[in-house]
Chain A
């Protein structure tokens, strides 16, 4: 299955199998380098990987051992036996979506 991950708080998880040659930009799961903030901020799109691939197995192991990533969708959360919590990207960091904000958005949608 396809696993989907979001970067969690300030934690840095190296992208599996990435060569760290001199001069190469380091790569972290669900993050991208942003020059203006001089930091690896959370990408807006989840990091996706096949659970049966080498990279998928590596991230599954890290997820089970350290829980250093957030499940990016319901299926991934279920795969790891975790509750799925909707998150929103606020200035380069994923934070739990406020239930009230979700309800307001849902209500707005209903009114449209």
Chain B
């Protein structure tokens, strides 16, 4: 059922012929939700949100709905906001996850401790995650005055994942949600870049939120809350899942198990998760290696200032946008108009070795360039064989999974219309082979008459540019009436997702005579 667009005063029983336009301001993004591959945002709400954990909300049409339900600045809000900014066609739902609780959950903090008195007036700029802040400091301002100015600036931006709960000359940037997701000694989703202010002022700043106080989960962890929430969507299909905490190996393993189960043939709800990581190459490699799953992708900016929620949300928005039109698009060196990820600091720009290692590890590397960033290529975490031991790149390029899912969905749609028809053994000719001229009773099908559905589909997929090697696919096709289940058609075939050009190498010799 399409979402209802409510306009004040226009209840469903209001009949007077008229045109009612409600113009609202400061509402955030609105989207149409026309995309076919639906996105499920799996994320905690903050205590300010009105939604209930373990419940799915949507389709989301307006950012304000997520602000009200998920809480402003919650992971649910921030990811939905980012998707909406990048992709106006996205169809978004939110699965609400409870915040970690029980025991002694801790909110991660990072501090800016000011000292001295300003000896001249100047603008001071610093950044936290992918947000820049600028405050005007007037000559004579004491440290506490500077702290208060920064606190007002930070707390005036409601969409941030943190607030300033400091006092006096110390700004205490505190993650809105408790748990390791906010940052620890080894996980820095929100890095702080605060240069020395000079001009009579001193500053001691944490390198990231989570350094002054490490976030910690309570006895009921976020991972267990994710596991519980996922149970409420086992019967419903969403193609894309997006979860922001790419360092939460336990939660990602729970999602992997959920996706693997849903993708089983009996359920057929083939789905795909995207998460984000902005830590070290080594840490992200460990996470990817642990997952090693073709339906999970990590948007990875090494040591980046872009936050994991924005990395994950941007990539899912882009994949939904691009692959609705072309499931085989490899997103190679992608920086389309929808792409808006902050560049890393120069010293952390990945070089070719970093990028190659990231690809080999199963990471979708977000590289930086002058003026912005780009996605190197879209890669699943399935960089090893099924045992997780040996290098195996066959399922690493994510477009192969996307194409497989598109073909499977197409076949499902076509075969759905055949169910319920009479299913008879195809009459054979004198040569013992199926007789192509046999008369099939109305409302009946045979394995022989259904075979063209497959062969035609193979041709259509290739004509659409999704696949290649039509003859090989068609020759591989086997369609039979099951000998053990009289109502079942059994088929097997190979498909070959198209390859995408990702490299050009040229050996060029300048061959002038001496």
Contacts and interface: CB of A to CB of B under 8 A. Distances in A.
A112 interface: no
A20 B353 CA distance: 13
Interface stretch (B234-242, B261-269, B276-284): B276-284
A62 to B, nearest CB: 7
Contacts of B285: 11-14
B391 A11 contact: no
A96 interface: no
B348 interface: yes
B386 to A, nearest CB: 12
B280 A24 contact: no
B353 A16 contact: yes
Contact of B394 (A22, A25, A69): A22
Given A11-B280, A14-B360, A68-B280, A38 B286 contact: no
A11 B347 contact: no
Contacts of A47: none
Nearest to A23: B390
A20 B391 contact: yes
A12 B393 CA distance: 18
A22 B282 CA distance: 21
A67 B385 CA distance: 29
Question: Chain B CB within 10 Å — which of A20, A23, A40, A67 has the most?
Answer: A20
A108 interface: no
Contacts of A103: none
Interface string B205-243: 000000000000000000000000000000000000000
B353 A58 contact: yes
B392 interface: yes
A49 to B, nearest CB: 15
Contacts of B357: 14
Contact of B390 (A10, A25, A40, A69): A25
A91 interface: no
A33 B303 contact: no
A65 B348 contact: yes
Contacts of B360: 14, 20, 26
A33 B391 CA distance: 13
Nearest to B283: A11
B303 A65 contact: yes
B384 interface: yes
Interface in A9-44: 9-14, 16, 20-26, 33, 38, 40
Contacts of A66: 280-282, 302-303
Contact of B286 (A12, A20, A69): A12
Question: Closest 10 interchain pairs by CB?
Answer: A68-B282, A11-B282, A66-B280, A12-B285, A20-B391, A20-B360, A14-B357, A13-B282, A12-B286, A24-B391
Interface of A: 8-14, 16, 20-26, 33, 38, 40, 58, 62, 65-69
Interface of B: 186, 280-283, 285-286, 289, 302-303, 347-348, 353, 357, 360-361, 384-385, 387-394
21 contacts: A10-B286, A12-B285, A12-B289, A13-B282, A14-B285, A20-B393, A21-B391, A22-B392, A23-B391, A23-B392, A25-B389, A25-B390, A26-B289, A26-B360, A26-B384, A33-B389, A40-B289, A62-B282, A66-B280, A67-B280, A69-B282
